[in-house]
Amino acid sequence: MKKYLFILILPIILSFSNCENRSEAMEEIEISVCGTENPAWLLSEISKITELRSHRPVKVSFYIDGDTEIVSIEDPVNSNFSEGLMFFYCNGERIEFNSEKHNQYLKLLKDNKFTLLWSN
């Protein structure tokens, strides 16, 4: 009976340990973008993706468009394309999916014009 109880409790214990590992991993991220070290909005967006699973691939890239820096966040596991690839301005404002700007930056990303800043 004790063996079965342990098997039932083990996933709960492991889920708590994964939460700690995720929060520690977020503290280890060092991304300098838009003249700021670890902008809160960017860490929040990454956290939204990685909190779903202990290891979920995320890529953060940037592109300088004249005097504007654009940040892309890729979640290749997400089947919802509007959530799987997002573009942001430096203030954290998200560029609307399928807008003219979004499609322009999507083309530039596909043409490898964005520079990778961070990946897990």
> Which pLDDT tens digits describe the chain residue by residue (120 residues)?
544 444 445 444 444 444 444 444 555 778 888 888 999 999 999 998 888 776 788 999 999 999 999 999 999 888 888 889 999 999 999 999 999 999 999 999 999 999 999 998
Residue 7 pLDDT: 45
Q: Provide the number of structural domains found in the chain.
A: 1
CB atoms within 10 A of CB 97: 15
In a 10 Å sphere around its CB, with 0-12 CB exposed, 13-18 middle and 19+ buried, how is residue 102 labelled? middle
Residue 14 pLDDT: 43
Return the half-sphere exposure (C-beta side, CA atoms, 13 A cut-off) of residue 42. 30
Residue written as tokens 């909005």? Answer: 41
Q: Which domain holds residue 27?
A: 2-119
Instruction: Report the predicted TM-score, pTM, of the whole model to 2 decimal places.
Output: 0.74
